[in-house]
Amino acid sequence: METVKVLFLTQAGELGPSSRYRVYQLLPWLQKLGITGDVSPATDDALYRSLYLDSGTRGSRRAAFQATWRQRNAVLLRLNEFDAVFVQKGVFPGLFSGFEKKIAARRPLVFDFDDAIWLPRVGGSRVLRWLHRETAVQDILRRATAVIAGNDFLAEYAARFNRSVTVVPSSISVDTYPKSNASDIIGWIGSRTTLPYLKPLKPTFDALRTKPRIIASGDAAQLGFDVDFRPWRLETELQELSHIGIGIAPLPDTPWERGKCGVKILQYMACGIPVVASPVGVNKNIITHGVNGFLATTPDEWTTALRTLIADPQLRQRLGAAGHETVNTRFHVQRAAEAVASVLRSLA
């Protein structure tokens, strides 16, 4: 098997969830398939922790912007060392297409994305909001030799600008996940920016007289109700997940959320944790209602589903086992690596 050498340009290091699931966890599997190379994050772990986990200051954000600009220009000098370049959600934060333009002129470029990144950016600095233009996304998609999308919703958009689009769902390294302790603790894992998704469930938590366990960064006080808050850390993530007995994944039905790839559901399932989720986007593709989880829309549906699971340990076990089988057969990291390797080989 001929080796293909690839330069992976990621948004972040392994602390960044998108980079971790779309690139880093695939690397050992890709190497077995003859895909080698280097990984270059736009934001390393130390800087990511400062900016997104520990509330970085405006000064640190400005320094990060300048450092990344210098680093990405240096990367362009190394393109001749590689057969192809894999860009995960953009070479530079904020979707400035200038770097992709230069890369595509010299090497086959694969563009991978797992969010509806063409939509307007909310929050962040004015510079990043200015850089985050739909025209830049379209320009990158047109210039890419091939595009990899995390779900069908994203692929449909990409196909308007590129004829070579492959859907590779976000995946899970199933064997690394511990088995749930089968408790009746309701839990959620997420981030600072997604904490507000939990607010509509306050009536449900009140009705059940339960305090959900939250694994996330940010300030849980914004929710307006009591939670059992556990700060997210990569080194403790799996242990924290194993103590959850029922996983929840509420989502509003908006274009941005339809672009999400359901990773938290896959994490719950990998641990054998039964799931209740909103029927939005890929959630409907992952979960078959009553078979490997429950789908719920209204507060009454959420309350009924969670109350049923709390009262029935055998049902929790059955749905959890079915969910584990779902992620093991359809969303295993090996399947994703094989699909990505196929795309890279076709170009190189």
User: Would the pLDDT of 59 be above 70?
Assistant: no
Confidence of residue 32 (pLDDT cuts 50, 70, 90): very high
Same domain, yes or no, for 279 and 343?
no
Same domain, yes or no, for 312 and 268?
yes
User: Would the pLDDT of 265 be above 90?
Assistant: yes
Same domain, yes or no, for 224 and 182?
yes
Residue 147's DSSP bridge partners are 111, 165
Burial 312-333 (b: 16+ CB within 10 A, else e): eeeebeebbebbbebbeeebbb
Query: Which range, of 13-27, 55-69, 187-201, 240-254, averages the lowest pLDDT?
Result: 55-69
Answer yes or no: are the C-beta atoms of 263 and 170 closer than 8 Å: yes
pLDDT in tens, 72-98: 989 899 999 999 999 999 998 766 789
pTM of the entire predicted model: 0.94
Same domain, yes or no, for 16 and 150?
yes
Query: What's the token pair of residue 103?
Result: 């890369």
Same domain, yes or no, for 26 and 74?
yes
Answer yes or no: are the C-beta atoms of 79 and 103 closer than 8 Å: yes
Q: The sheet that has 228-231: what strands, in order across it? A: 228-231, 213-216, 186-189, 246-249, 275-277, 294-295
Between CA 246 and CA 51 the distance in angstroms is: 31
User: Would the pLDDT of 61 be above 90?
Assistant: no
Range of the domain at 273: 174-330
Number of domains in the chain: 2
Same domain, yes or no, for 27 and 79?
yes
Same domain, yes or no, for 183 and 261?
yes
Same domain, yes or no, for 60 and 135?
yes
pLDDT in tens, 128-155: 666 678 899 999 999 999 999 999 999 9
Supply the CATH number for residue 82's domain: 3.40.50.2000
Answer yes or no: are the C-beta atoms of 118 and 157 closer than 8 Å: yes
Same domain, yes or no, for 39 and 164?
yes
Between CA 218 and CA 222 the distance in angstroms is: 9
**H or E, element range at 127:** helix 126-131
Between CA 24 and CA 126 the distance in angstroms is: 30
What 3-state class would DSSP assign to 152?
A: helix
Answer yes or no: are the C-beta atoms of 234 and 25 closer than 8 Å: no
Average pLDDT of 295-303?
Answer: 97
Answer yes or no: are the C-beta atoms of 82 and 52 closer than 8 Å: no
User: Would the pLDDT of 250 be above 90?
Assistant: yes
Same domain, yes or no, for 27 and 126?
yes
Average pLDDT of 178-183?
Answer: 92
Confidence of residue 168 (pLDDT cuts 50, 70, 90): very high
Same domain, yes or no, for 305 and 340?
no
Answer yes or no: are the C-beta atoms of 12 and 18 closer than 8 Å: yes
Percent of the chain predicted with pLDDT > 70: 94
pLDDT in tens, 206-234: 999 999 999 999 899 999 999 999 999 99
What 3-state class would DSSP assign to 330?
A: helix
Query: What's the token pair of residue 84?
Result: 């192809």
Answer yes or no: are the C-beta atoms of 13 and 48 closer than 8 Å: yes
DSSP state of 344: H
Which pLDDT score, from 0 to 100, does residue 93 have? 72
Same domain, yes or no, for 90 and 182?
no
**H or E, element range at 6:** strand 4-12
